[in-house]
Structure 1
Amino acid sequence: MKLSRYVLASVISTSMISGAALAQSAASQGFSYGVGVGVNQEIYQGYSNRTIPLPIIGYQGDRLTVYGPFVSYKLLDLGNISFSAKLAPRFAGFDESDSAVFSGMAKRKDSIDGGIGMQLRQDNWKFTTQTVFDLLGNSNGQESKVSVGYSYRAGPVIIEPAFGVSYSDSKLVDYYYGVRPDEATAQRPAYKASGAVNYNAGVSVTTALFFGGMTRLGVEHHWYGSSISDSPLTDRDTGLSAFLSWSRLF
């Protein structure tokens, strides 16, 4: 089901993935494997919490980082500032059968996003920004993200609180949360969505204490913009997500 994969994408944010890869590669580079589980509060009507098991296959090299379906390639490294090309799936579509609220609606397809990101590290602070575009032309939209995080060590544990802001343009939001005129019903009025500013705040904890690998726990709270929360397809404007993973180098 498309919504199952939507949860995967929202639980495993880019910051979680890059943090896990960096933690794993702190001592060395190479291939990694592991398992994880994600839990997310859905904002579409007809869904509450969903739990999904996640296999993890990754690679960390000098320039290339792969963590599951997320790929980053470092284009330029200037010490504490780096620029990278990004490639990631956007699992945000739905089928008519996924929920009663989608009855009679056309399928919204998932896609692949590509773009450019920048990362600045200063002492224990990390500032990241990226802009990605729909490469398959399903929504023809784009999304920009900015986040700031701080990491500190407490014995064998690394704690990383972070805060982020993202902007999804009107094409992206309307594709996934809009209702076309020919899809409107008495219970589901036509709705054309505008761009949305979304916020998230969370904390992750990473440790190498268990089973010779890296264990990572992350929790995030999400606040969705009004053009998403006002959609007749949604019934929430906030939600929590959590992710627990364990990975180990080959």
Structure 2
Amino acid sequence: MRYHIYLITPLLFCFYSNAEPDLSSLGLISEDRPDSPIPKGFIVGGAAISSQARYHESSNDNLVVPGALYFGDNLMFLGDRARYYFNKNDDVAYFGYGRYRFSNLNPSDDGFHGMHKRKGELEGGVGLTWITNYALLTTRIVTDISGQSNGQELLVWADFPVIRDKFLFMPGLGVVIRSEKLANYYFGGVSSSESSPERAAWNAGTTLSPMASVVTSYRFNQHWIGLIAANYEYYDKGIANSPLVQHNGEWLFITGIGYSW
């Protein structure tokens, strides 16, 4: 007998942060019932977010923000990103994926004078999730489709949800591989034209970074859902040793509450 797997996520609000938590397989299974961790339709709410700055000259983010998401039969929308399942059954789900990756470096900010602005980009791709009794196993590849970084990203991820009535505990782990162009554009590359006596040129190269996350959520009643979540990415040395970065990883903590109707 196959277990039902329900998911809820801190990514309701992640588009306000530069952190890179995995989308996992949110919305793959949702039900229209009062105690489901993911009900059909819209969820709106707010969250307190703390995240580590990617660049050492930047400050960590501490924000309180609103957010919204949508779970339909096939469409999942999370503000800056979406999945559409074009084929799914009890064993595997195939999806298309789109995301807007926000700008994360502005040369007008202190510490970045002489750099080129890292503009936001549209990304598109495809993926699949294998559904087992104990885990959701996802592989997804995306590429820039707007001509900014012209880079690609491959994600391999596993979630292990444990459901006890209205409570969800879900650890997850995986790796993300970024092409040289994407890593240099958003993760610490410094071109020769951007270098200076204080900032050496740097080629991040193709990077491989492990990530891990824990998501807990609780359905208080028919309308209200609470969550606490954490995510950590351990940088590839091509990112960590960049003159812009100079640290080993990137963390994200979220506490949120949402309303469903």
Aligned twin of 2:146: 136
Q: Which blocks of at least 5 consecutive residues in structure 1 are unaligned?
A: none
For residues 217 and 171 of structure 1, the distance between their equivalents in structure 2, rounded to whole angstroms, comes to 34
For residues 50 and 163 of structure 1, the distance between their equivalents in structure 2, rounded to whole angstroms, comes to 23
Q: Equivalences for 1:164-179 in 2 at 5 Å?
A: 164-176=174-186, 177-179=188-190
Instruction: Indicate conservation of the 8 Å contact 2:94/2:128, yes or no.
Output: yes
Aligned twin of 1:118: 128
Correspondent of 2:252 among 241, 244, 248: 241
Aligned twin of 1:127: 137
Aligned twin of 2:42: 31
Q: What stretches of structure 1 move > 6 A for 4+ residues in a row?
A: none
Q: What whole-Å deviation, never above 9, does each CA across 1:157-216 have from its counterpart, x for those lacking one? A: 110011110000001111232111122111101112201001111211011026832212
The reply to whether residue 104 of structure 1 matches residue 114 of structure 2 is yes
Identity %: 25
Instruction: Indicate conservation of the 8 Å contact 2:155/2:176, yes or no.
Output: yes
Q: What whole-Å deviation, never above 9, does each CA across 1:90-123 have from its counterpart, x for those lacking one? A: 12431112331x1111111111111002111111
After TM superposition, the score normalised by the length of structure 2 is 0.85
Residue 7 to residue 196, structure 1, CA distance change in 2 (3 Å): farther
Aligned twin of 1:147: 157
For residues 78 and 15 of structure 2, the distance between their equivalents in structure 1, rounded to whole angstroms, comes to 17
For residues 256 and 98 of structure 2, the distance between their equivalents in structure 1, rounded to whole angstroms, comes to 21
The reply to whether residue 85 of structure 1 matches residue 103 of structure 2 is no
The structure where helix makes up a greater share of residues is: 1
After TM superposition, the score normalised by the length of structure 1 is 0.88
RMSD: 2.2
Instruction: Indicate conservation of the 8 Å contact 1:80/1:121, yes or no.
Output: yes
Q: CA deviation at 1:68?
A: 1.9
Instruction: Indicate conservation of the 8 Å contact 1:11/1:38, yes or no.
Output: no
Instruction: Indicate conservation of the 8 Å contact 2:18/2:54, yes or no.
Output: no
Correspondent of 2:23 among 11, 14, 17: 14
Residue 92 to residue 227, structure 1, CA distance change in 2 (3 Å): farther
For residues 227 and 53 of structure 1, the distance between their equivalents in structure 2, rounded to whole angstroms, comes to 32
Aligned twin of 1:47: 58
Residue 39 to residue 151, structure 1, CA distance change in 2 (3 Å): same
Residue 154 to residue 71, structure 1, CA distance change in 2 (3 Å): same
Q: Equivalent residue of 1:181, what SS? A: coil
For residues 193 and 182 of structure 1, the distance between their equivalents in structure 2, rounded to whole angstroms, comes to 16
For residues 166 and 15 of structure 2, the distance between their equivalents in structure 1, rounded to whole angstroms, comes to 33
For residues 15 and 168 of structure 2, the distance between their equivalents in structure 1, rounded to whole angstroms, comes to 28
